[in-house]
Structure 1
């Protein structure tokens, strides 16, 4: 029971920590994507703005990574976004493996405690006989408490683990959408600049 109590305390701490860290306002601040696209259209992309954006939230860090390499080809920007995105997903999934391990280990520890209790009880029967049947039933009930405790620890940990995994996946999809919108917002000026250079060089070539 002592390991189960320790696991329950650890699971509760991890659930509270992940629930606070993965709240929507901390990962996807409302209106941040629109604000950054507005910066891009107005040309307010100085290093100070980008650094402040990077420190706001995971979404801000992803958008800042795109702005850092905004003058490169779109394929290179996508590669940078994928690399930064993997790092951000790893950060958002922090401690989730531990929570999953608790969900898997809880029932096994509970079953182990029950088996140990049953072994001790039957060894006592071998030494002293069956004795009182009510006392025997009480001993079996006490041994099964360990299994029940393991399930009580494991079920909330499993539910929280699956819920947090789904929440991270949802955030990743929304962050990708915001990053694509930012790429569309910063690409037209670059395309226009390339087009202007092409028109300027044409007369020189013909001459």
Structure 2
């Protein structure tokens, strides 16, 4: 029973795509491109660039207030995430002036943040393209159906009209389905990207404050 159900589902999907015409394949290719980008971004944002910023900063704070800057640098070196990379550049300049520390942090942030936000705009483009190709397929299906009906025998008009409208609706459905799914994924990934960038801004300021406090105590 399960095997026949799977085969029936596959046949239904194949028939749905075939009845939709050439634009169905275009939408599927665009959709697949968007899914590939989404998977790559999810892996990078979740497992490479992200870190629990509050916990990480608390750990650094203990080292900094204990005057163990090298220990704090080692903690940052143990992670490939975006925030530790930015804070590490500031810690390496801890003996310099506040302006030099800030410049080091800003320079690293300018290097890291574009990598965090890389290809995010492509997901918006994919969603828009999928929608537009769905509408284009709809228009093509309607044009073909009305053109066929105009030249067909009265007995065939209903069948030809139904075929053309089916093609139009199929492309609309698939285009909107692809666009909606990619937009939802984009929103989720954008929130993760914003979280990483916001933590860089927030904890960079806190690092500057900690280093300034340490210098005042040293004086």
Q: Which moved more, 1:107-116 or 1:15-24?
A: 15-24
Say yes or no: does 1:162 pair with 2:187: yes
Change in CA separation of 1:52 and 1:192 when aligned onto 2, cut-off 3 Å = closer
Q: Quick check: which has more Rg, 1 or 2?
A: 1
Q: Distance in 2 between matches of 1:88 and 1:129?
A: 66
CA distance in 2 between counterparts of 1:56 and 1:136 reads 59
Match of 1:40 in 2: 64
Name structure 1 gaps, 5 residues minimum: 196-207
Distance 1:34 1:8 in 2: 42
Counting matched residue pairs gives 194
Q: Which residue of 2 aligns with 1:151?
A: 176
Output aligned runs, 1:58-73, within 5 Å: 58-73=82-97
Counterpart CA distance in 1 for 2:150 and 2:119 is: 46
Moved more, 179-188 or 124-133: 124-133
CA spacing shift, 1:82–1:48, aligned 2, 3 Å: closer
SS at match of 1:71: coil
Matches within 5 A, 1:103-118: 103-118=127-142
Find the counterpart in structure 2 of residue 198 from structure 1. Answer: none
Contact 1:54 1:61 in 2 (8 A): no
Question: How far apart, CA to CA, are the structure 2 residues paired with 1:29 and 1:192?
Answer: 29
Give the TM-score normalised by structure 1.
Answer: 0.79
Q: Does 1:82 align with 2:106?
A: yes
TM-score (norm 2): 0.75
Instruction: Tell me the CA shift for residue 182 of structure 1.
Output: 2.0
Q: Which of residues 12, 25, 28 is equivalent to 1:5?
A: 28
Q: CA RMSD in A?
A: 2.7
Conserved 8 A contact 1:54-1:62? no
Distance 1:119 1:135, change over 3 A: closer
Asked if the contact 2:63/2:69 (under 8 Å) is kept, the reply is yes
Structure 2 gaps of 5+ residues are: 1-23
